[in-house]
Structure formats: C-alpha cells, structure tokens
Copies of this chain bind each other. A is one copy, B any other.
C-alpha cells in the first residue's frame, strides 16, 4: 500500500499494525470529533452540539476510544459543576496531514463515485 510496501504483503495480514488506525477512521463519529477538536479544545457538550445526531452514550464511547489510542486527551476542569475538556494530542494532530489528503481525495472524487453507484444500482434493476 505504501510507496515502499506495495508488494511485501504486510498490509494483507489481518493483524497488520495499520488496522487500529483504519478501524478508528472507519467508525461513524471519530473523524468528525477530531475535526471539531482540530479547531479548538472543547468540552463534552460543546462537541455534542457541533455533531448533530450523536447521542451522549455514543459520543462518550467515541471519545474513550480516541483517548485510548492516544489521539485525544481528557482534562477535568476544577469548575462547579465540573467540566471536562478534550483536546488533540500531538499524535492526534499529526494525523491531520494524511487524513486531510484522504479527505481531499474523497471530496474531489465524490461526484464520480456517486455516478458509479447510481450506474451500478441502475444495472441491477434491468
């Protein structure tokens, strides 16, 4: 897959070290949460308000997973009532470049992909 590992086969193994990253990226809210935190560190409900449709439970799960993977940091604020601020770690911020490239590609090709989908679905009807 990479410029140097195209034919090594490492990417072909289910336990390839890149799996955790691809899995994290594949889930529904992770990338959007990181996009929010890329703008500025934010508190739980602030993130929730930016992500229309996410539930408390699912947002918590997403944040925990990102935290476990070292992408974000959780900081309890000494306020009353207590507040919790989430922010990207240097590791999480460093994901911005490759993820941005992929995002740009996806947006640039979105119409082409959509056309393929419609064409494929239309063929099934006939």
Contacts and interface: CB of A to CB of B under 8 A. Distances in A.
Contact of A14 (B25, B39, B52, B68): B52
A116 B121 CA distance: 43
What interface size band does chain A fall in?
35 or more
A38 interface: yes
Interface of A: 1-3, 5-7, 9, 11-14, 17-18, 20-23, 25-28, 31-32, 34-36, 38-39, 50-53, 67-70, 91, 94-107, 109-110, 112-117, 120-121
List the 4 shortest-distance A-B pairs measured between CB atoms, nearest first: A26-B26, A70-B116, A17-B110, A18-B106
Contacts of A1: 31, 34-35, 38, 96, 99-100, 103
* Dominant SS among interface residues on chain A: helix
A95 B102 CA distance: 8
Contact of A107 (B2, B27, B35): B2
Contact of A12 (B50, B67, B103, B114): B50
Contact of A103 (B18, B68, B99, B116): B18
A67 B97 CA distance: 28
Contact of A102 (B12, B32, B70, B99): B99
Contacts of A21: 102, 105-106, 109, 113
